């Protein structure tokens, strides 16, 4: 199981480098596909993956990413408002064809998966975004690994026993500190090799530490959804890891945080 998880993780990392490095349309298309896959997993949990409202969610995801690249609407929030209005229009004029839970699930899925993941593209599109975007994965996956190692070694006090019984307070703290350390090391390497910001090691440590704190929220939230619906994994797409949402649950929350933290600390 460990070897399978390690090998699939290495393949995933290679694929990630392959789609993040070129940026632009390549990154956008990859995130569109990833969002559709994650949305399908979530809608399947809600038992609406083949329904009309589910299909509507997939189409709106495609339109959202097209708008992100082509700029039909100057502000993405305009798109979100239009999507909500159309959802309510369908609910009202097809009543009682749709339940309000289905409408809420459609909107939640679009926002939780597609819009949150789109911040990876927004970060990559920033000045020096090729360097900054990796903070998302250092803080989320670095936190996961650090929390697991520290929790296994010294974890005693339960962190969220009802959502994730194996997580500990010690592991959670270790995850934040581990991610901050990775951020600092990454910043130091960038400074020494490319002259990227004299204080970037400190700034990256803060960004990754804060991002790691919120990444654990994303992890627990995804666990809560699975427990609510009595499933272990969202799918078995990635051997040893589960589905897209199992692997990117912390990234979903971390990506927007890193975007705004980078904008503030790095003055972008």
Q: Under a CB-based contact definition with an 8 Å cutoff, are residues 97 and 48 in contact?
A: no
Q: Which pLDDT belongs to residue 130?
A: 93
Q: Which pLDDT belongs to residue 268?
A: 59
Q: Which pLDDT belongs to residue 75?
A: 62
Residue pLDDT, tens place only, 190-229 = 888 887 777 788 999 999 999 999 999 999 998 899 988 9
3-state secondary structure (DSSP) of residue 1:
coil
Q: Which pLDDT belongs to residue 74?
A: 59
Q: Which pLDDT belongs to residue 5?
A: 65
Residue 238 pairs in a beta bridge with: 242
Angle between helices 244-265 and 24-45 (to 10 degrees): 130
Residue pLDDT, tens place only, 217-260 = 999 998 899 988 988 888 888 776 788 998 899 999 999 999 99
pLDDT at 136 over 60: yes
With a pLDDT cut of 90, the percent of the chain lying above it is 43
Q: Which pLDDT belongs to residue 6?
A: 63
Whether this prediction's pTM lies above 0.75 is answered by yes
Q: Which of 42, 38, 48, 56 is nearest to 228 (CA)?
A: 42
Q: Under a CB-based contact definition with an 8 Å cutoff, are residues 46 and 105 in contact?
A: yes
**Confidence class for position 73, pLDDT limits 50, 70, 90:** low
Residue pLDDT, tens place only, 6-58 = 677 678 888 888 999 999 999 999 999 999 999 999 999 998 888 888 898 99
Q: How far apart are CA 53 and CA 57, in angstroms?
A: 6
Q: How far apart are CA 166 and CA 168, in angstroms?
A: 7
Least confident of 69-73, 161-165, 198-202: 69-73
Q: Which residues of 97-125 are buried (b: 16+ CB within 10 A; e: fewer)?
A: ebeeebbebbbebbebbbbbbbbbbbbbb
């Amino acid at each position: 199981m460990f070897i399978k998880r390690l090998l699939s993780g290495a393949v995933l990392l290679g694929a990630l480098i392959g789609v993040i490095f070129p940026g632009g349309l390549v990154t956008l298309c990859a995130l569109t596909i990833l969002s559709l896959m994650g949305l399908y997993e979530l809608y399947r949990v809600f038992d609406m993956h083949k329904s009309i409202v589910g299909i509507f969610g997939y189409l709106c995801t495609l339109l959202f990413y097209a708008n992100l690249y082509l700029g039909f609407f100057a502000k993405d929030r305009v798109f979100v408002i239009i999507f909500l209005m159309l959802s309510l229009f369908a609910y009202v004029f097809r009543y009682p064809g749709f339940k309000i839970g289905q409408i809420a699930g459609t909107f939640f899925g679009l926002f939780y998966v597609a819009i949150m993941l789109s911040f990876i593209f927004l970060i990559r599109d920033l000045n020096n975004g090729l360097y900054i975007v990796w903070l998302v994965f250092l803080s989320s996956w670095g936190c996961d690994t650090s929390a697991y190692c520290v929790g296994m070694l010294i974890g005693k006090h339960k962190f969220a026993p009802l959502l994730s019984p194996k997580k500990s307070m010690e592991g959670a703290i270790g995850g934040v500190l581990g991610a901050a350390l990775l951020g600092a090391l990454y910043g130091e390497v960038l400074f020494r090799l490319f002259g990227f910001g004299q204080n970037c090691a400190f700034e990256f440590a803060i960004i990754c530490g804060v991002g790691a704190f919120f990444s654990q929220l994303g992890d627990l939230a995804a666990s809560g959804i699975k427990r609510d619906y009595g499933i272990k994994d969202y799918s078995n797409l990635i051997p040893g890891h589960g589905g897209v949402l199992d692997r990117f649950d912390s990234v979903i929350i971390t990506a927007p945080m890193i975007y705004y933290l980078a904008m503030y600390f790095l003055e972008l």
